[in-house]
Structure formats: C-alpha cells, structure tokens
Amino acid sequence: TRAGGLRAEKPGEHSKQVSVQSARGEESLLSAARKVKEAGRDFTYFIVVLVGIGVTGGLFYVIFKELFSSSSPSKIYGDALKKCRSHPEVIGVFGESIKGYGEATRRGRRQLVSHIEYVKDGLKHMRLKFYIEGSETGKRGTVHVEVKENPEKGRFEVRYIFVDVDTYPRRTIVIEDNR
C-alpha cells in the first residue's frame, strides 16, 4: 500500500524494506539551501583567515621596523651606546663596564628611551636621551643624541652625541659633533 510516499511490503514477505520517495522539487530546494549555507560558512572562514593573515603581517612589519630599521629609536640608542662604550674618555670616567638604560616606569623598569621626532628644513630629526652607569661606584651620566635624516642615503646620521657626567666633578664629554 502507498500512504504519503511510503511503500511497505506485505506482512507475509521475508524482507521488510521501507523506501522513502520525495518529490524532485523538494530535493532541489533542500540541496540549494544547503549549498548556500555551506558557501556562507566557507566565505566566513575565508574572511577570518584573511583577517588573521593581515594582523600577522602587520605585527611582523612593526617588529621589523622597530628592531631592524635604521630610523628606529631602539637602533639609534644601540648605536649611541656602542659609541659611548668605546670612547676612551667615557671609559676613563665611568670604567670598563658601562650599561645604558632609559626612563624608569612606574613598575621600576628602565626600558623607555626618551625620544622626540621633528621635521626641520624638510628633513626628519630625532633626539634621544638615556642614562649610563659604569663600574666606578656612583658614576652616572646622561647621554644626549641627535640624528638627522640623510635624503641621499635614506637613513639617519648622527649630528651629535654628548655625555653629561651627573656626579662630581660635573662635566660634558663630546663623543661626536657633526653639526
């Protein structure tokens, strides 16, 4: 007998099979709706992956620029500290082992190197200020650095580096003066 698209075998037969028959229109409607749903889900995953790749690329760019660019304050600080450590007059005042550090934060960490960027005569300039201590007991100093952009080379060049000795006897040591 047939009732609502179902067909059942007679009770006396050995096989008990039930088959479901559906109209062609309903089947294509369901498969089209399913396809749209799956396409929407796939598109959403695609957008999430693209956003993830964009954010990761942005982070790599910022890290590369900050650590490896010749125009980053960290790079300029490192170069200036290296020149301070190798200058004979600075070594004579502070001792062999010279360490540099930036401004102290509220948590007591000294990681912030104070810097100001400005434009003068169409060229970028940057001034940095950081502190040094030596192995000599109680010897401290303040290092002032100014760099100017060289448009031909596309990088910053040092205008001056000088060290103010903060302890007695106070004096200023000029490391580089290319004004």
100-141 pLDDT, tens digit each: 998 877 776 656 788 999 999 999 999 999 999 988 888 899
Q: pLDDT digit string (tens) for 8-28?
A: 555 555 555 555 555 555 666
The domain segmentation of the chain, as residue ranges, is 17-69, 71-177
Tokens representing 6 are 């179902």
pLDDT of residue 20: 52
Q: DSSP secondary-structure letter at 87?
A: -
Quote the tokens at residue 46: 């695609």
State the amino acid at position 172 in one-letter form: T
Asked if 15 contacts 7 with a C-beta cutoff of 8 angstroms, the reply is no
Percentage of the chain exceeding pLDDT 90: 46
Which residue's entry shows tokens 């190798």? 86
Extract the tokens encoding 157. 């060049």
* Dist CA 166 CA 172 (whole Å): 9
| 173 pLDDT tier (thresholds 50, 70, 90) | very high
3-state DSSP assignment of residue 154: coil
> Residue 9 has what pLDDT?
52
- The CATH number of 71-177 is which of 3.10.450.320, 3.40.50.720, 3.40.50.2000, 3.40.50.300? 3.10.450.320
pTM value > 0.85: no
Residue 80, C-beta contacts closer than 8 angstroms, at least 6 positions apart: 128, 130, 143, 145, 158, 161
User: Is residue 87 within 8 Å of 96, Cβ to Cβ?
Assistant: no
Q: What pLDDT score was predicted for residue 174?
A: 93
Measured distance between the N- and C-terminal CA atoms of the chain, rounded to whole angstroms: 105
Strand partners, 141: 132, 165
